Amino acid sequence: MSHTQDKSSAFQQGIVIFVYLAALTALEYFVAVVFTAIPILVLIAFIKVALVMYYYMHIYKLNEESDSDRDSYSYKTGSNRFGLWLFLLSDAFVFGGLLVSRINLLGFTRPPLNQTLGLAVTAVLLLSSFFMNRGETAMAHGDKKGFVVNTMITLALGLGFLLGVVAVEWPNAAREGLTASGNVAGGIFYMMTGMHAFHVFTGLIFLGIILNNNRKGVYSAEKHWGVEAAAVYWHFVDLVWIFFYPALYLIGKLL
């Protein structure tokens, strides 16, 4: 698949990638339930990450030649994009640190969590990424209405994920005896989901901002760095969850 297309094939590509991601998630869940093969789970996670980075976050744009005029919008966008990716790289170290801590503290065991809920919020987040991609693609093709509709859906799904974790999964886990101040498994669970939820929350704020800015007519098909940034950030949050979900729900023996 290449990455320069007209609007409908761009949309189509989004769908295909989403189907891949969904299938991989299902496979992941299946693998975890049937036999505990951590290398396979890691492999699947990396495939998913590669798909998201390439097709949803279009990392290849970093390589794009930009205008030689340093004051031009496209040159500045190039710099901004590079800056954003560096920021994500930096942020990835926080999450990497959390993953390492989780492995160090819990090893090949995992906290007792509600599998159905876990799969549900994962699906919601994945779906939101799909709509985010649609929203951004719409904007890139000048389809403001498509942008608004898709971004609204993303926002709603994102909110659903956030509430699903914070308002449903947390109290649920606490009822099951997994509290922050109890065993360290609780501590690391709340820390990881909490840090992730915090990022989802900031992502939601960015979505709100781009919707509002769009209302004020700031963006156009040619100039919509804000939309791209919010979208890339949103996918990054999804990308983190691609690792966190198996790390918390799938890997290892039940504690």
Partner 1 sequence: MKRFFSSALMRGLFWQFIGTLVGAGLVTAIRAAMGLSVTDKFFFTEPAWVLGAFFGVLFFMVGTGVTSDWIKWARGIDPPEHHEERFQGWEKYVNISLDHKVIGVQYAITSLALICIGGLFALIFRTELAQSQLQFLTTDLSLFGQNGPQLYNTLMSLHGMIMIVSILLGIASAMNYVIPLMLGAQDMSFPRLNAFSFWIAVPAAILLLMSLVLGGFDTGWTGYPPLSARAPVGMQMFFLGVFTAGWSSILGALNIIVTVVRMRAKGMTAFRMPIFVWAAIATSIISLTATQLIGLSFQMVMFQRLFGMGFFDPGKGGNPILFQHLFWFYSHPAVYVFVLPGLGIISELLPVFVRKPLFGYRWIAMSSMAIALVGFVVWAHHMFTSGMNEYLRVPFMYSTLLVAVPTGVKFFSWIATIWKGKITTPTPMLFVLAGIVAFLMGGLSGPPNATVSVDLHLHDTYMIVGHFHDTIFGGFVFPFFAALYFWFPKATGRRMNETLGKLHFWLMTPAFFVLTLGMMRIGLLGMRRRIVDYDPAMGFDSTHMVLTIAAFLIALAVLIFLYNFFNSIKNGEKAEGNVWNSRSPEWQVPSPMPAHNYDQPFEVVGEPYDYGLAGSKYVEFIKSEKSAHN
Instruction: List contacts with partner 1 (CB under 8 A).
Output: 70, 75, 78-79, 82-83, 86-87, 89-91, 93-94, 97-98, 100-101, 104-105, 180-188, 190-191, 209, 212-213, 215-216, 218, 226
Least gap, CB of 25 to partner 1 (angstroms): 27
Least gap, CB of 80 to partner 1 (angstroms): 8
Return phi, psi of residue 253, to 5°.
Answer: -80, 150
> Of 145 and 216, which has the nearer Cβ to partner 1?
216
Rounded to whole angstroms, the Cα distance separating 82 from 237 reads: 18
> Of 26 and 100, which has the nearer Cβ to partner 1?
100
> Of 54 and 85, which has the nearer Cβ to partner 1?
85
> Do 101 and 188 meet the contact criterion of CB atoms below 8 Å apart?
yes
Helix (H) or strand (E) holding 104: helix 73-106
> Of 106 and 251, which has the nearer Cβ to partner 1?
106
- For tokens 């109290």, the residue is 171
> Of 114 and 183, which has the nearer Cβ to partner 1?
183
Question: Whole-angstrom distance between the N-terminal and C-terminal Cα of the chain?
Answer: 43
Least gap, CB of 235 to partner 1 (angstroms): 19
Rounded to whole angstroms, the Cα distance separating 171 from 230 reads: 30
SS3 sequence, 52-86? HHHHHCCHHHHHCCCCCCCCCHHHHHHHHHHHHHH
- In Å, how far are 18, 38, 100, 190 from 41, measured between CA atoms? 18, 5, 16, 22
> Of 160 and 226, which has the nearer Cβ to partner 1?
226
Rounded to whole angstroms, the Cα distance separating 245 from 32 reads: 11
Least gap, CB of 213 to partner 1 (angstroms): 4
Least gap, CB of 81 to partner 1 (angstroms): 10
> Of 26 and 215, which has the nearer Cβ to partner 1?
215
Least gap, CB of 183 to partner 1 (angstroms): 6
Q: Half-sphere exposure of residue 35, counting CA atoms within 13 Å on the CB side?
A: 3
Nearest to 110 by CA among 38, 168, 160, 161: 38
Least gap, CB of 104 to partner 1 (angstroms): 5
Nearest to 106 by CA among 172, 178, 42, 189: 189
